[in-house]
Structure 1
């Protein structure tokens, strides 16, 4: 019994460490979200930036793209609100596209893709892949290097501010299948800072994303350590020092 109790205590200590890591991640994610909303709307600004934000249409930064699929077999991609742009085989564990994909749209890293039927639910993301997507998606190329930072818009498109905008341009009587035309998307007018301020905002949010990623890796390592410890202690493969 003393050894059983000691093992239980050691396992509970490991589980407590994982829970503490999870709580830290939740706090960091909530902090980043709140800070992003302030920075992306101009409610909070960096010292040294005082130029008023200007009303600018998204068409200044993006242009419709309708490149067709290349002749050789391409990577078929899918757009997800949760996971962004990813290979269809990873999202569904298999390829769902039809045998003939000549009518599919070709995209490259940096292109913007959104589902017009689900934009109201923030189904929009930049692609990190080259491949093809269903013609049901809207595809746009980035043309804003002179005026902006693509990372700023990556954060902006996931903000609560933009979620409201998506609902205003989505049309239809079915609440869950409203369509957002690309023409209306490009006409959206927002207050946007100058390129240098965009970069500062993007740098800070990117640093927070990296910090959250590191914390998640540490949490995963703690969890694996806990599993390994349980396996070894509960089978007697490894015994606590005081009971050897």
Structure 2
């Protein structure tokens, strides 16, 4: 389907000037900082304060306005929000927000979803001005952003409702994941400390050191220097921190295959459970294997609740971490506990996959509906 350019600009839907209403010093307003806005278009924190506490020079907005981050990298990362659920009628926020106010011929959420399109971000990224690290999208670029199709107000409202309904579904899944994760954390604290015993297990727990449960291996022979960050290769290249999979490689020489293991970051003490063939990027890792008296998955979960303060930038495993005392049940109870926690992880992972699926569906719907490739019946 070929869509002709509508000749309409985003600026045709938004006010060119934001007029500030009178506010008394005792009136409550909402304050929103840049960190209070997520990268998926949500307000994650609102501070209700009196107008007298507001610093001069902040950005003024009202309920139903749309916020768009103007500065790099916040703009590229889609920071912004529709303020239809604002807790007060007026508010102030970061000076790095643009405020878009819908005209009478426009639906605020329809405008918001346009600002969340990848197309919008990519095009306006090219028009950013300023020096590196301080580049910003000028307001005139937003005003002159061309729309693919001129939707009637009725269509705008219909599109906004459809996409809002998908957002509600996504939010419900996110809340469920958060609930499941909190339940798992509570279960870990009970089962991994012996505060709660599983039925059928009564044997005593033994105190020992981490090194009594795990062997360690240095990673040098498994290091891969050439990494495809787009992950087109067959073999993942790992780290033990939050990034986990840094990329891939097709170099099959010296892959780690004696699985499963725990990858341990020697500087941050973060750890990852790995049950697939891999290579590593850095020597700042220890590869940990369980001894005969330990279940590797149980030990991994136990490591997640071990308190450890990271101070100086140094390697910790040999000098300190492996000397930590831990309380451990008999092997069969370790396996049973690990299975329960592993089942919880599988449930959470399935929900996370479902979440990503709906996010992709929403992204596709936005692109089709907002560009006119798919029309809704009025």
TM-score after normalising by structure 2: 0.49
- Deviation string 1:206-232 (CA, Å, 9 cap, x unpaired) is 111111111111111211222222222
Aligned residue pairs total 212
Matching residue of 2:300: 154
Does 1:109 pair with 2:259? Answer: yes
Indicate if the aligned counterparts of 1:107 and 1:133 stay in contact, CA closer than 8 A. Answer: no
Of 55, 80, 101 in structure 1, the residue corresponding to residue 240 of structure 2 is: 80
Match of residue 272, structure 2, among 125, 150, 153: 125
In structure 1, how many angstroms separate the alpha carbons of the residues matched to 2:158 and 2:256?
Answer: 59
Unaligned regions of 5+ residues in structure 1, if any?
A: 95-103
Preserved contact between residue 263 and residue 273 of structure 2 (Cα < 8 Å): yes
Counterpart residue number, 1:101 = none
**Counterparts of 1:223 and 1:76, CA distance in 2:** 25
Q: Structure 1 CA distance, aligned partners of 2:375 and 2:255?
A: 59
> Once the 2 structures are TM-superposed, how far is the Cα of residue 66 of structure 1 from its aligned partner?
4.5
The answer to whether the Cα contact below 8 Å between 2:220 and 2:283 also exists between their aligned partners in 1 is: no
The DSSP-based 3-state class of the residue aligned with 1:69 is: helix
Is residue 207 from structure 1 mapped to residue 343 from structure 2 by the alignment?
A: yes
Distance in 1 (CA, whole Å) between partners of 2:236 and 2:169 is: 40
Q: 1:219 to 1:113 in 2, by over 3 A?
A: closer
Question: Residues 152 and 199 of structure 1 are in contact (CA less than 8 Å); yes or no, is this contact kept in structure 2?
Answer: yes
Instruction: Pick closer, same or farther for the CA change 1:225–1:176 going to 2, 3 Å.
Output: same
- 1:62 pairs with 2:198: no
Relative to structure 1, is the Cα distance of residues 137 and 152 closer, same or farther in structure 2, using a 3 angstrom cutoff?
same
- In the alignment, structure 2 segments of 5+ residues that lack a partner are 1-152, 227-234
- Higher RCO (C-alpha 8 Å, min separation 6): 1
The structural deviation recorded for 1:67 is 7.5
CA contact (8 A) 2:239 2:280 kept: no
Q: CA 1:232/1:113 → structure 2, altered by over 3 Å: closer, same or farther?
A: closer
2 CA distance for matches of 1:233 and 1:47? Answer: 55
Change in CA separation of 1:52 and 1:83 when aligned onto 2, cut-off 3 Å: farther
Measured in 2, the distance between the counterparts of 1:217 and 1:239 equals 29
Instruction: With the length of structure 1 as denominator, give the TM-score of the two structures.
Output: 0.72
**SS of structure 2 residue aligned to 1:55:** strand
Could you say if the C-alpha distance between residues 105 and 132 of structure 1 is closer, same or farther in structure 2, counting changes exceeding 3 Å?
Answer: farther
Greater shift, 189-198 or 74-83, is seen at: 74-83
Q: Which has the higher helix share?
A: 1
1:137 aligns with 2:273: no
SS of 1:238's equivalent in the other structure is: coil
Q: 1:15 and 1:157 mapped to 2: Cα distance? A: 36
**Shift in CA distance, 54/135, structure 1 to aligned 2, threshold 3 Å:** same
Distance 2:259 2:212 in 1: 19
CA gap 1:196/1:14 in 2 versus in 1, 3 angstroms: same
**Is this contact kept in 2: 1:68–1:106, CA < 8 A?**
no
> Structure 1 pair 236/203, CA: closer, same or farther in 2 (3 Å)?
same
SS in 2 for 1:56: strand
